[in-house]
Amino acid sequence: MGLHAVPLDLSTTYPSYDSRQEAARIDAFAATGARPDGPPVYARLDNPTVARFETALARLEGTESAVAFASGMAALSACLLARGAQGLRHVVAVRPLYGCSDHLLDTGLLGTEVTWVDPAGIADAIRPDTGLVMVETPANPTLAELDLRAVAHSCGTVPLLVDNTFATPVLQRPAERGAGLVLHSATKYLGGHGDVMGGVVACDEEFARTLRRVRFATGGVLHPLAGYLLLRGLSTLPVRMRAASATAGELARRLAADPRVARVHYPRIGGAMVAFETRGDPHAVIGGVRLITPAVSLGSVDTLIQHPASISHRIVAEGDRRSAGIGDRLLRMSVGLECVEDLWRDLDRALDGRPAGQEVRRTGWEDRRTGQEDPVDLSANAAGPAEAGPARAPVPGRGGR
């Protein structure tokens, strides 16, 4: 029977009148990690709504399977535990990564050991006990990009784990470029509305079976309501990404031409993330926005801005932050669906340190205070983000971090 609206199954347990059959199904899951055939057993083992989300995400990423978790960090932890259980506790990683991912690897909280390298050093860093190579592209928060095919080649037989949170499968499908595991903080663009937390790993069925067993044993399950909201988010993901990317590309172009901004980072593949380094006090910009929300996280329909050195990457040692290109004047902005002119007006005021309500019209980058805001001519800026971004907003390459 076909469905128009996906049902939400909130049940934690399900009736079973044949305990012998249930015993056989549970034995099979414990041995193989395959999804049990027949009706559900218990929500920590499997849930129909969550399973629908997993199937949809796997199709979008072009993988056999996907396994969902309570958060992106729970998903990454499961990957590390799965490889560590096989005696493969060494990880080769390229900075920058999301701050908590960096922290989890660097501290060895799960018994792992990490070797940090530049992309060119991946092959030389691999050891017999290397379980994963981990990268993020575009990277958080500098938006540095990597050649995934070249990275995958350097990995040899070691699985490449790519954090695809920023790009989403709309802009990039890492599995098509050699990645064995594709990680998402589903909290971000996949959900898209700032009201759901989750994580997911897209991979082949063999690794998915191991992840399911780890999830069952450790309990990092995605709540069914979260699975329902994530399915809703996937249905509008392409539309949201394209609209926000167009606005982000235009904002990147304007910021790159602004003398109050020292440098702009914007990916060649486009996207809704913009990072920029201010010449003045970045904290004044954070405190000066009104339409834009000064908050951690990203990927929502509303625009967010934050200071990575103070929040998302505070947990990373200062020297490691700086070597990865995360300076004290860097701001990271997740562009939403608001009008580009409204966003620019807010940024323009915040960059000047002006209170809300006092507008400035910039012509030739000279201040001309008026009682009424003149329209900004966008006739020269008709190109989308992929065309406008690289030409006017410098993007850090491998040596530009």
| Catalytic machinery residues | 44, 98, 163, 188
The answer for residues whose C-beta is within 8 angstroms of residue 326's C-beta and 6 or more apart is 96, 141, 142, 308, 309, 313, 316
Q: How far apart are CA 340 and CA 280, in angstroms?
A: 23
Q: What is the DSSP code string of 105-133?
A: HHHTTTS-EEEE--GGGHHHH--TTEEEE
CA angle 252, 273, 147 (to 5 degrees): 100
Q: Using omega within 30 degrees of 0 as the cis cutoff, is the peptide bond preceding 141 cis?
A: yes
Using alpha carbons, list the distances in angstroms from residue 253 to 126, 173, 271: 40, 26, 13
Token representation of residue 260: 């109050």
Alpha carbons 126 and 131: distance in angstroms, whole number = 9
- Residues whose CB falls within 8 Å of the CB of residue 382, separated by 6 or more in sequence, listed in order: none
Contact present, 156 and 116 (Cβ < 8 Å) = no
Q: Which of 264, 195, 262 is nearest to 230 (CA)?
A: 195
Residues 286, 102: Cα–Cα separation, whole Å: 24
Contact yes or no for 47/69 (Cβ under 8 A): no
CA separation, residue 210 to residues 35, 156, 175 (Å)? 11, 21, 19
DSSP strand pairing (293-294 vs 304-306):
parallel
Rounded CA-CA distance 209/30 in Å is: 10
| Cα distance between residue 386 and residue 249, in whole Å | 7
d(CA 331, CA 284): 11
